[in-house]
A and B are shown apart, each in its own frame.
Chain A
Amino acid sequence: MKTEKTNIKAALTIATAALLGGNTVTHAETVSSNEDSNWEFDSAFLFYSEADRVSASEVILNAKKIFADDEILNLKLTIDALTGASANGAVAQPRVQTFTRPSGNGQYDIAPGDTPLDDTFHDTRVQLNGQWTQAVADNLTASGGVHISKEYDYLSLGVNGNVAIDFDRKNSTISLGFSHFQDTFTPEGGIPKPFASMLIGDSSAPTWDDEFAETRLGSEDDKTTTDLLLGFTQVINRRMITQFNYSYSMVDGYLTDPFKILSVVDDNGVAQDYVYESRPDSRAKQSIYAQSLYHFDTNVFDVSYRYMWDDWQITSHTIDSRFRIPLGDNFGRESYIQPHFRFYQQSAADFYQPFILNSEPLPAFASADYRIGEMTAFTIGLKYGMLVNHGHDLSFRLEYYRQTPTDAGFDEPGVLKKVDLYPTIDAVIAQVSYSF
Chain B
Amino acid sequence: MKHSRAVTLTKCQDGHSLNFHAMASPCEVIIQSTDPQLAIKLGNIIASEVWRIEDKYSRYDQNSICSVINNSAGQTVNIDEETYLLLNFAEQCYQLSDGLFDITSGILRKVWRFDGSDKLPTSTQVAKYLSYVGWRKVKFDQQQITLADGMEIDFGGIGKEYAVDRAIILAKQLTNLPILINLGGDLAVTRARLNNAPWQVAIEHPDIDSTKSNIDNNSSTADMIISLTSGALATSGDARRYLLNKGKRYGHVLNAKTGWPIENAPRSITVVAPACIQAGILATMALLQGDNAEQFLSEQEIKFWSRR
Contact = CB atoms under 8 A, between A and B. Distances in A.
Contact of A5 (B169, B273, B281, B299): B299
Contact of B275 (A5, A16, A391): A16
B19 interface: no
A364 interface: no
Interface stretch (B87-95, B118-126, B132-140, B141-149): B87-95
Give the one of A37, A387, A390 with max B CB within 10 A.
A390
Contact of A23 (B13, B169, B231): B169
Contact of A391 (B32, B86, B165, B285): B32
Contacts of A28: 274-275, 278
B33 A390 contact: yes
B24 interface: no
A236 interface: no
Interface in B77-109: 85-86, 88-89, 92-93, 96
B162 interface: yes
A174 B230 CA distance: 28
Interface stretch (B47-55, B236-244, B258-266, B300-308): B300-308
Given A16-B278, A391-B194, A32 B272 contact: yes
Interface string A1-44: 01001101101110110111101100111111111011000000
B275 A34 contact: no
B165 A389 contact: no
B92 A11 contact: yes
B296 A31 contact: no
A29 B168 CA distance: 17
B192 interface: yes
Contacts of B85: 18-19
Interface string A328-341: 01001110000000
B16 to A, nearest CB: 12
A66 interface: yes
Contacts of B96: 8, 11-12, 15
A30 B89 CA distance: 21
Given A2-B299, A11-B96, A34-B192, A332 B34 contact: yes
Contact of A30 (B14, B34, B192, B274): B274
B287 to A, nearest CB: 14
Given A5-B296, A12-B92, A21-B169, A32 B303 contact: yes
Given A31-B303, A334-B14, A19 B230 contact: no
Interface size range of chain A in the complex:
35 or more
B196 interface: yes
B1 to A, nearest CB: 31
Given A24-B165, A391-B32, A8 B192 contact: no
A32 B177 contact: no
B100 to A, nearest CB: 12
A48 to B, nearest CB: 27
A253 B194 CA distance: 46
Interface in B191-231: 191-192, 194-196, 229-231
A5 B300 contact: yes
B274 A13 contact: yes
A23 B296 CA distance: 28
B4 interface: no
A27 B230 contact: yes
Contacts of A11: 92, 96
A18 B93 CA distance: 13
B277 A18 contact: no
B282 interface: yes
Interface of A: 2, 5-6, 8-9, 11-13, 15-16, 18-21, 23-24, 27-35, 37-38, 66, 329, 332-334, 387, 389-391
19 contacts: A5-B300, A6-B299, A6-B301, A11-B96, A16-B89, A28-B274, A28-B278, A29-B274, A32-B272, A33-B229, A33-B230, A34-B196, A66-B196, A334-B13, A387-B34, A387-B194, A389-B35, A390-B33, A391-B178
Interface of B: 13-14, 32-35, 85-86, 88-89, 92-93, 96, 162, 165-166, 168-169, 176-178, 191-192, 194-196, 229-231, 272-275, 277-278, 281-282, 285, 296, 299-303
In the A-B complex, the 10 residue pairs with the closest CB atoms: A15-B92, A391-B194, A28-B274, A19-B89, A5-B299, A16-B275, A9-B300, A19-B85, A8-B96, A16-B278
